[in-house]
Amino acid sequence: MKVFSIILAECYREFVYAKRYSVERISSLVMLFFIFFGIVYSSTTSFNPGQSNHFDSISTAHRIIGFLLWFFALDAVGHLSSSIREDLHIGILEQIALSPYSLIFNLLGRSLSRLIINFSISIILFYVLQNTFNVTIKIPVGVLVLFIITYAGLYGLGLFFAGLTLIFKRLGPITTITRFLLLIFTGAIIPLDSFPSYLKYFSLTLPMTLGLSIIKNLIFERVTFFEVAGSIKFFLFIANSLFYLCIGIITFLYLEKRARSKGALGTY
């Protein structure tokens, strides 16, 4: 019950922040939209005046799904680290940590509330993108399960960075690089087949690649969830997400203990 209450507290905090800093949230959303708009158009438009532009609605639909999943990854990977950094910076982390429970529950609450907020935003973004590029995408219910499993892996990566932030304080560039790795190497905007084989193998180790690939199977190839669930690909997908989640939890708990030994919860 107490753990649930901690999660509720963090949800409350995120919603107060979301309301207070709504302009920042909206402007970053508009910026994201323009980045995506640029990415899609640049990939379908030629600089050569003699060559005709070819707008491929299927590729665009693939990119919209990839982009939306990356939109969640963007927050899952970086938000926990940046919120820990902010708490350290303003000096309130110790008061929050004054609890019988690990900070991991606070972070779970923060992640869940951001997930709810981002889910609402992504619905708007989804419709705006479909209308802008004039494509129609139908999403089967099974995608939700795949999304949750993918998100669990991304959350693990977020916890890993949050733990490192407790000790090293500033990790901004590392989380930014990771976010762009996820955009480029997971098949979100560039098809995996276009990579050399060593990069393809590398991309399969990332926490979003297999999830996105299976989600696309369900959306574009009309494969049912139960058909996918028995495949080796699905097994590897679960193993990948579990790996990242476990690594995230273990690393965070270890580094939180280390931070409490060093007295690092109160220093920035």
**Interaction site with another protein (CB under 8 A):** 1-2, 5-6, 8-9, 12-13, 16-17, 20, 90-92, 94-101, 106, 257, 260-261, 263, 265-266
**Least gap, CB of 259 to another protein (angstroms):** 9
Using only C-alpha atoms, the chain has a radius of gyration, in whole angstroms, of 20
**Least gap, CB of 267 to another protein (angstroms):** 10
**Least gap, CB of 12 to another protein (angstroms):** 6
* Whether the Cβ atoms of residue 133 and residue 67 lie closer than 8 Å to each other: no
Task: Name which of 91 and 172 has its Cβ closer to another protein.
Answer: 91
Task: Name which of 222 and 257 has its Cβ closer to another protein.
Answer: 257
Pull the structure tokens for residue 52: 């005709």
Axis crossing angle, helix 103-133 with helix 57-90, rounded to the nearest 10: 150
Contacts of 107 (CB under 8 A, 6+ apart): 10, 80, 83, 84, 158, 159, 162, 252
Task: Name which of 230 and 263 has its Cβ closer to another protein.
Answer: 263
User: Could you give the CA distance from residue 180 to residue 130 in angstroms, rounded to a whole number?
Assistant: 23
**Least gap, CB of 10 to another protein (angstroms):** 8
Task: Name which of 13 and 179 has its Cβ closer to another protein.
Answer: 13
Q: Per DSSP, which regions of 69-214 are E strands?
A: none
Task: Name which of 20 and 222 has its Cβ closer to another protein.
Answer: 20
**Least gap, CB of 91 to another protein (angstroms):** 4
Q: Is residue 169 left, alpha or beta, with left meaning phi > 0 and alpha meaning psi from -120 to 50?
A: left
